[in-house]
Amino acid sequence: MSQSFASSAPAVVQVGDRPLRIDEVAAVARPSGPEGEPAQVVITDDAWGRVREARAVVEDLAHDRVAHYGISTGFGALANTHIPPEKRAQLQRSLVRSHAAGMGPEVEEEVVRALMLLRIQTLATGHTGIRPETLQLYVDLLNARITPVVHEYGSLGCSGDLAPLSHCALALMGEGEVRERGGAVEPAADVLARHGLTPVQLEEKEGLALINGTDGMLGMLALAITDLRRLLTTADIACAMSVEGLLGTDDVFADDLQQLRPQPGQALAAQNIRRVLAGSPIRESHRTEACTRVQDAYSLRCAPAVHGGARDTLAHTERVAGYELAAAVDNPVITDDGRVESNGNFHGAPVAYALDFLAIVVADVASMSERRTDRFLDVARNHGLPPFLADDPGVDSGMMIAQYTAAGIVSELKRLANPASVDSIPSSAMQEDHVSMGWAAARKLRRAVDGLAQVLTIELVTAARGIQLRAPLAPSPATAAVIAALDEHSSTAPGPDRFLAPDLAACALTTRDGGPVAAAEAVTGPLH
């Protein structure tokens, strides 16, 4: 998904003295604020001191007769090959050039920017041995919105996101291709020269330090968390509108009933639904003995369990992301006492699992949303509304095919929920014999999150039309505000069939930007 970060995003993000926050990753990755500019990055003075100290360790070890991985040896399965001093600069260049082997479609700018920020964060910890001038150039590229071209395929999620990070490192060398501010693809050398930036000649350990991290998958996790915080609240709003439009009951969302099952996310989802439904004349119209329905269908009654479980899973992934944002992921690392030690911290399993967990809950939240949409269209289940919410059923088809679209997306989301992290294909002559496939998990999650936004949009538009067909009964004040917000971008009003795709596309944009949430909160106050 691609949308603006909140306008309250900081203008500057300081890196080096503490772990980054998820919202800071989004603020740097995405345009924000009135000028549509992402936040700038500044390395703290203390971090620069640690970078210089770690570099001094590497330079001392470069002259040691004992082989040190990444400094005086080859890489991967070639780790036992000693490299003489006169070939080490070429070793670093060759490493980056050979590993920049990505293929397929170009990755989105916001993903590459998140990746770059997170690599800068690790380099600034003083555990990688990078030279200060190399780190400064990385920061300069990011702040100038010079984005290396990175491709869809090339990372197995172990030994880091090697190919994606290598394409970024290649740009530091003045090689490969970049885009400036989302413009045309150009040679990196030309763009750097235009900005007065001098490419670096990599020295011992630097090539490895630039490419050995979980930054791509972690960046995509942080962006997905940012999006899902908004979309899960949107799901609660859409559900409340469906309950209202389908003449369902809000009694099942009572707080004392939720407390009987103390799942924290469930209680929050139920509270959101209650607040959106508050003061609904439509709801009050059937709070009588004449209403003989005993209980609503699961897609209405059980929504807090599904939306709440999704929230709790999201909270777990936020913790995982927080741990990883506090990490220095490289191999080998420079320890605080000056040792150079190999490790396995680059293995993406923790992040990959979190990404796959989210793909599962995204599919299920969307699946329940589609079922609510479908109920509006069936005269056997929509309690007095016209078939397919059509103006002249038979002549008009109403929302019939919008539900097809939602069903098609949900079917794909179920396929995307198949975990990538259970797969592994050995690489590097069996030296890297188990990999995480975390990058693949992140790529499919991005597509899944976008699909969820579209499915929720279809439910919002369908519910808005169904609610308006209940006139002269009025909806709740929060629902009315959401319908008005949607109508600023399209029309949800009932009537003869019209070209529906532009209406759905316009509403999807405001869904992604948080328009329905902002509209509801203008009435209810902050929602969870």
Q: Which residue has the tokens 């996101």?
A: 161
Q: How far apart are CA 301 and CA 495, in angstroms?
A: 30
- CATH level 3 topology of 221-524: Fumarase C; Chain A, domain 2 (1.20.200)
Tokens of 338: 């000056």
Return the pLDDT at 9: 45
Tokens of 67: 């082989």
Whether 69 is a known active-site residue: answer yes
Q: How far apart are CA 327 and CA 214, in angstroms?
A: 10
Return the pLDDT at 3: 39
- Each residue's pLDDT expressed in tens, for the chain with a length of 528 residues: 333 344 444 589 999 999 999 999 999 999 876 678 999 999 999 999 999 999 999 988 877 777 777 777 766 666 667 777 888 888 889 999 999 999 999 999 999 999 999 999 999 999 999 999 999 999 999 999 999 999 999 999 988 899 999 999 999 999 999 999 989 999 999 999 999 999 999 998 999 999 999 999 999 999 999 999 999 999 999 999 999 999 999 999 999 999 999 999 999 999 999 999 999 999 999 988 777 677 999 999 999 999 999 999 999 999 999 999 999 999 889 999 988 888 888 999 999 999 999 999 999 999 999 999 999 999 999 999 999 999 999 999 999 999 999 999 999 999 999 999 999 988 887 878 889 999 999 999 999 999 999 999 999 999 999 999 999 999 999 999 999 999 999 999 999 999 999 999 999 999 999 999 999 999 999 999
Return the pLDDT at 76: 63
Q: What is the location of CATH 1.20.200.10 in the chain?
A: 221-524
Domain 12-213 has CATH 1.10.275.10: yes
251: helix, strand or coil: helix
147: helix, strand or coil: strand
- Give pTM, 2 decimals: 0.94
Return the pLDDT at 440: 97
Return the pLDDT at 5: 40
What is the b/e burial string over 332-341, where b = at least 16 CB atoms within 10 angstroms of the residue's CB? bbbeeeeebe
- Amino acid in the structure at residue 127: H
- Amino acid in the structure at residue 171: A
Alpha helices, H only, 154-249: 162-172, 188-194, 206-211, 215-245
Question: 494, 504 in Cβ contact below 8 A?
Answer: no
Q: What is the location of CATH 1.10.275.10 in the chain?
A: 12-213
Name every residue whose Cβ is closer than 8 Å to that of residue 241 and which is 6 or more positions away in sequence: 276, 459, 460, 463, 464, 467, 475, 479, 482
